[in-house]
A = this chain, B = another copy of it.
Amino acid sequence: MKKSYLFAPGPTPIPPQALLEMAKPIDYHRTTESAQLIRSVSKQLQHVFQTQNRVLMLTCSVTGALEATVVNLLSPDDQVIVIRSGKFGERWGEICSAYGVNFQPIDIEWGHSIDPKQVESMLHKMPNCKVVFSTLCETSTGALHDIQGLGQVLDKFDSLLVVDAVSALAADNLEMDNWGVDVVVSASHKGLMTPPGIGLIALSDKAWQATSQSNLPKFYFDLQKALDSAQSGSTPYTPAVTFISALNQSLTLICHEQIKNVLARHSRLAEATRNGIRALGFDCFAQSPANTVTSIRLPNEIDGQTFVKTMRKRHGVTYAGGQAQLSGKIIRIAHLGWVTEQDVVIALAALERGLIETGYSISLGSSITAAQQTFLG
């Protein structure tokens, strides 16, 4: 008998309402019922994105939605800034390069966060900068970036503010309209508790205006076509109807809890996790840790890759390891989506158990006690 516990930063656990929805017979996608479903999901997404802008659904992995952003906003000669502080910040630059857009990077040490003033001084040197590409939570490090601060800086310039909120949406606060964010990209399989396969994107009026000047080639990811279809509750191409139905269920739970309470829950879960790992003598890898995922810097004597594999095999507990330059050096524990305080206790208890089994000395129970104290307030 084996039971599985998923603490990776996507896919995240899926509530039973959404799982069971996918087991229902499939329906055709060009019907009144389908249009109603798409409209319902779209409306609920606006609540989560905290926007009046329309949120479009694309059938693709996250990277497809990031690419959609680049190819719809830009032309080859455009000047853009890419904030890079981890694997996903870097991806914005990789996509720009693939399309021949030269970008100006602002490189931050992995685990650190952007100081909006750095962007401000760069913008003074690049008066024609069209877009600043940023990340809300850099999932590879667990660092949270100050998007509200970036929004205040960008308010003084013509540049568009684009935010990869893929993992952090519904975990860390992002007020698209209030903060002046022009494009928010996210996905189904993180805070929205649905399988991977749907990319989400919302554009401000200013961003929609920019799309009309873009001449990068696009077909599948043409957002104007997606918008035209969305206005009649449809999509340009056969969508992943199964996931849209599941997303509707998960969003119903989120909207019932209300986004402000969902964010408060994630804040509490993250704080308890951080207090727990600090009680074990560990540090968060991120200087400003997000509520999405906690990255733990491992002591040299523990190999993170082996640890993650062993935990999965022996205890059915899935953490994520480090990516790229952080491979083996950190582990990442997500507290994201369909997660409760009890789940945090499991994540920490398993961590304690695994550390002792690997021969590393800790005070058994200390992280759980710290987490419980956080919950008790």
CB-contact partner of A19 in B25, B28, B217, B219, under 8 A: B25
Stretch of A94-102, A120-128, A294-302 with 4 or more beta carbons under 8 angstroms from chain B? A94-102
CB distance from A18 to the nearest CB of B (A): 9
The one of B4, B23, B59 that contacts A25, using a Cβ cutoff of 8 Å: B4
Q: How many copies does the complex hold?
A: 2
The docked-state distance in angstroms from the alpha carbon of A98 to that of B64 is 17
Contact at B238–A67, with CB atoms within 8 Å?
A: no
Residue in B4, B28, B240 whose beta carbon sits within 8 Å of that of A197 in the complex = B240
Assembly CA distance A189 to B60 (angstroms): 15
Please tell me if the beta carbons of B28 and A24 are within 8 angstroms of each other in the complex: no
A6's nearest neighbour on chain B, judged by CB, is B28
The residue in chain B whose Cβ has the minimal distance to the Cβ of A312 is B31
- CA distance in complex: A33, B312 (Å): 11
Contact: A8 with B25, CB < 8 Å?
no
In the assembled complex, the Cα of A61 lies from the Cα of B219 at a distance in Å of 12
CB A333 to nearest CB in B, in angstroms, measures: 13
B22, B28, B239, B240: which contacts A8 (Cβ < 8 A)? B28
- The chain B residue sitting closest to A166, CB to CB, is B238
Interface contact B220-A61, CB-CB below 8 Å: yes
Choose, from A9-17, A111-119, A156-164, A177-185, the stretch at the interface.
A9-17
What are the residues of chain B within 8 A of A30 when measuring CB–CB? 320
Asked whether any CB of chain B lies closer than 8 Å to the CB of A282, the reply is no
Q: Which residues of B contact A189 (CB under 8 A)?
A: 238
21 A-B residue pairs with Cβ-Cβ distance under 8 Å, sorted by A, are A11-B27, A12-B26, A19-B22, A19-B23, A26-B195, A28-B318, A30-B320, A59-B59, A59-B197, A60-B64, A61-B239, A62-B237, A63-B220, A63-B237, A64-B220, A67-B219, A67-B220, A98-B217, A189-B238, A196-B242, A240-B243
Q: Is A218 an interface residue when CB atoms closer than 8 A count as contact?
A: yes
Contact with B along A191-233 (1 / 0, CB 8 A): 0000111000000000000000000111111100000000000
Whether B23 pairs with A195 at a CB distance below 8 angstroms is no
Q: Cβ of B67 and Cβ of A196 under 8 Å apart?
A: no
B99, B217, B240: the one contacting A196 at CB < 8 Å is B240
